[in-house]
């Protein structure tokens, strides 16, 4: 082998080792990025579940209040004005 070929081979070997080191660094960075992404989603989902658990009694109260209000509006929508007049007559109240 001549000296020029030997020099090219050594340079190629050096570049290959440098590329190998860079690839290993990239691989480690990608593994850590995946781990951090998993931790991020775990915290996000955990915080959502925790917030729902803490706010559940308040949400239940609001839903029951809404159902009560919704039920009372149904009752007011079904009022019969003739029965109101009869009620006023029972108590001897005359409309003006």
Q: Give residue-wise pLDDT tens across range 6-59.
A: 999 999 999 999 999 999 999 999 999 999 999 999 999 999 999 989 999 898
Averaged over 50-78, what is the pLDDT? Answer: 81
CB count in 10 Å sphere of residue 6: 10
CA distance 63 to 69: 10
User: What's the pLDDT at 44?
Assistant: 97
CA distance 55 to 8: 69
User: What's the pLDDT at 68?
Assistant: 86
In the three-class reduction of DSSP (H, G, I as helix; E, B as strand; rest coil), residue 62 is classed as helix
Most confidently modeled range among 4-8, 29-33, 76-80, 81-85: 29-33
Q: Identify the CA nearest to 29 among candidates 17, 39, 18, 37.
A: 37
CA distance 3 to 7: 6
User: What's the pLDDT at 11?
Assistant: 95
Averaged over 66-88, what is the pLDDT? Answer: 65
User: What's the pLDDT at 70?
Assistant: 79
Contact by Cβ (8 Å): 44, 36:
no
Check: pTM over 0.75? Answer yes or no.
Answer: no
Alpha-carbon torsion (80, 82, 87, 92), positive or negative: positive
């Amino acid at each position: 082998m001549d000296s020029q070929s030997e020099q090219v081979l050594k340079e190629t070997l050096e570049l290959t080792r440098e590329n190998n080191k860079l690839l290993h660094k990239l691989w480690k960075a990608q593994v850590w990025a995946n781990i951090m992404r998993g931790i991020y989603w775990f915290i996000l989902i955990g915080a959502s579940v925790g917030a729902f658990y803490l706010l559940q009694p308040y949400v239940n109260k609001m839903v029951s209040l809404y159902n009560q209000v919704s039920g009372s509006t149904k009752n007011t929508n079904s009022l019969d004005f003739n029965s109101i007049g009869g009620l006023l007559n029972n108590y001897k109240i005359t409309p003006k």
